[in-house]
Amino acid sequence: MPSRARPTITSRSGRLLAWFDRNRRDLPWRARPGEPPDPYRVWLSEIMLQQTTVATVARRWDRFVGRFPDIGTLAAAPWEDVAAAWAGLGYYARARNLHAAARQIAAAGFPPDERGWRALPGVGAYTAAAIAAIAHGQPSVAVDGNVLRVMARLEAVAAPLPASRRTLAKAAATLMADEAARARPGDAVQALFDLGAGICTPRRPACARCPLAGDCAARAGGQQDRLPVRAPRRERPALAGAVFWVEDEAGLVWLRRRPPEGLLGGMLELPGS
């Protein structure tokens, strides 16, 4: 792991890291300052955080990790136990991929780099980059919604998302390429996450407390509340169905298990249309 070099305060990432050192969020899956990150906890948290809020994951973290404290325990557990522990986190395809990936990791070890993580079930480009940076200290650029918002404002990119995503990802890579960020890539990535979550928020960003306010082109032009721009969403059709409650004389209710693939795959449900 790279040493925790003192940031160059004159650089953008240096100011960002100095702010992070004072204001970092205390999250149960994060390593404390000076502690080596645990790849298992980093990977598990990134999968849980997909399409879910930090608050939701934080409420369920201790229960899940208490049941599956390490990769071997998770890999050896039957799917039904994993699904039960995952209850409340939603998008159960993530849990199926997590379980499958755990078995691959238990057999071959934790991947050493972004490419290796990308090959596992349920790990996309963003998740692989985040794990590589946080768990392995590699200069990977993880671009999520928070990062896109920060970069759109920092560079005053008015082109709408998602078409501008590549431009914003390049801007994030430039920010992460200077000396301070290269010395602490995991902290730099998490600093951007925290900046977007707590300062550069979707509405009413707290620009007066932002370590990058002096560099922000959107703020200079009074555009911070208008960026990023998002293309209009297509309307989705409304679907309707019927669900049946079937009970026997003993009061037992009929449940069925959904197919392993698709929406809520492998979960129990009431029979329906």
Catalytic residues: 46
- Picking from 96, 101, 104, 127, the residue whose alpha carbon sits closest to that of residue 114 is 127
**Helix/strand/coil for 40:** helix
**φ, ψ of residue 53 in degrees (nearest 5):** -85, 160
**Where do we find the tokens 């602490």?**
184
**Phi/psi of residue 147, nearest 5 degrees:** -65, -40
With tokens 């890291």, the residue in question is 17
Q: Do 23 and 198 touch, CB atoms closer than 8 A?
A: yes
Are 48 and 41 in contact by the 8 Å Cβ rule? The answer is no
Distance CA 158, CA 175 (A): 19
